[in-house]
Amino acid sequence: MKTDASLMTKGPIYPQIIRFAVPLFWGQLFQQLYNAVDSVVVGNFCGRSSLGAVSSTGALIFLLVGFFIGTFTGCGVVISKYYGAERYELVSASVHTSVAFALVAGLGLSLIGVAFSPFFLRWMDTPSDVLPEAVIYLRIYFAGSVAVTLFNAASGIFQAVGDSRHPLYYLIISSFTNVVLDLVFVAVFDMGVAGAAIATVISQILGAVLAFRRLFASDGVYKVRFREIRFDREMLKEELLTGLPSGIQNSVISIANIVVQSKINAFGSAAVAGCGVHSKIEGFAFIPITSFSMAITTFIGQNLGAGRHKRAKQGAWFSIFACCVLAEIFGGIYYLAAPWLISLFNREAEVVAVGTLEAHTICLFYFLLALSHCVAGIMRGAGKAAVPMFTMFSIWCVIRVAYISIVTHFIPKIVMVFWAYPLTWFLSSVIFVVYLLRSDWVHGFDRENRLKPNP
């Protein structure tokens, strides 16, 4: 069987991580374009309430989808571990188990999302003028959830074996498809938020089809065979033990964000729209953070799987430094350009003012967010996903929610909600740095009898 992807256990460390991270960077860029286009088109052609409907769904979508995406991270870590150890029969078993899980997860997500969208939105105190269109958008989006889970599973497989280029290609194609269909359905056919949701679903289906077309046609060790798509009990257990902490982490963060969103909703539709636009733009500033955290997870997984501890540590410190520097550069650019960028989505003065206030409050602290995410990526690659899960649960969920509930009770200003982010980023960064410096995180990696890495 060919190993036509990339082993990251040999060769120069820094160029290797950068080469792997660059396609992830571009992939995340197009993913954000994919997510932002709905808001841009709806905001310019349908008005503030429709923009609020699309914007208000982000936290809820990530709550439900993020759990499974986080769990797929565990699948990728397991695949990268066996790939680094050159146990290719176990790579195949983990790949097919991951695909089977994606199918089941996608179907379950569709049922939950379509059935309970109105309940979830009312629970978030979504403004009444936004609620009907938000329900429509969510139900259509979740109807296509299988495509979302399958594409994320495929991307995780490619990245685990060192191939970050092909997910990029498929994201580019999907993103351009989404742009064209958004303009056709919303601007030409006047289908409103339903048209934006349909465009998103079609684009996601296209991306999943392209990804699995390659997986089925490949002659590499990660080739997918239809008749072998099934659950390997031991492999599923290992993937879930590795991935569930990341899935739970995403969910608890999302719960905290939903609490934040409910507080924002109380300030009216202009606040909902302004903060929603900020979140779309902020996604672009998060791109280097996401890229390096994903790259280091694969790098750490492969190298610890191969028993190369010193190499894993060197890659970890380089990724933290590069990630923090890039995040702060993007944050500085956003700080200066915030009013102009937000006005691209909606030109109403009140919407622009709220979005700019949020950006100016938090974007100079992106280096703290980068530090937390990068260390979390290192821990996931080392098979210690419970560490970031408990840290982010306690800080980004419990403390963040407590802060918002208490402070906004006494100071009912929206800027106090915004300060919840940099404050909790700081606390989690302190904990992560202490853990990274004091713990022996490179040892104790899974050493089951079936995993015997090459010397």
pTM: 0.73
Residues pairing with 2 in the sheet: 220
Q: How much is the pLDDT for 336? A: 93
The angle, 0 to 180 degrees and rounded to 10, between the axes of the packed helices 58-84 and 131-143 is 20
Amino acid of residue 366: Y
Residue 59 has a pLDDT of: 67
Longest Cα–Cα distance of the chain, Å, equals 65
pLDDT tens digits, the chain, 455 residues: what are they? 444 456 777 888 888 888 888 888 887 777 777 667 767 777 777 766 677 777 667 767 777 777 777 787 778 888 888 887 788 888 899 999 999 999 998 999 899 888 988 888 887 777 777 788 888 888 998 899 899 899 989 988 988 888 878 888 898 898 889 889 988 998 888 888 888 889 989 999 999 999 999 999 988 888 999 889 998 888 888 888 887 887 787 777 777 777 777 788 878 778 888 888 888 788 777 888 888 888 888 888 888 877 888 888 889 899 899 889 989 998 999 999 999 998 887 788 888 898 899 999 999 999 999 999 899 889 888 878 788 888 888 898 889 889 988 998 888 888 898 999 999 999 999 999 999 888 877 765 544 444 444 43
3-state SS, the chain, equals CECCCCCCCCCCHHHHHHHHHHHHHHHHHHHHHHHHHHHHHHHHHCCHHHHHHHHCCHHHHHHHHHHHHHHHHHHHHHHHHHHHCCCHHHHHHHHHHHHHHHHHHHHHHHHHHHHHHHHHHHHCCCCCCCHHHHHHHHHHHHHCHHHHHHHHHHHHHHHHCCCCHHHHHHHHHHHHHHHHHHHHHHHHCCCHHHHHHHHHHHHHHHHHHHHHHHHHHCCECCCCCHHHCCCCHHHHHHHHHHHHHHHHHHHHHHHHHHHHHHHHHCCCHHHHHHHHHHHHHHHHHCHHHHHHHHHHHHHHHHHHHCCCHHHHHHHHHHHHHHHHHHHHHHHHHHHHHHHHHHHCCCCCHHHHHHHHHHHHHHHHHHHHHHHHHHHHHHHHHCCCCHHHHHHHHHHHHHHHHHHHHHHHHHCCCHHHHHCHHHHHHHHHHHHHHHHHHHCCCCCCCCCCCCCCCCC
Structure tokens at 7: 């082993």
Name the residue ranges covered by the structural domains of the chain: 13-436
Q: Provide the pLDDT for residue 2.
A: 47
Backbone dihedral region for residue 446 (phi beyond 0: left; psi -120 to 50: alpha; all else: beta): beta
Residue 74, amino acid: G
Specify whether the CB–CB gap between 55 and 273 falls below 8 A: yes
φ, ψ for residue 2, nearest 5 deg: -75, 145
pLDDT of the residue at 74: 73
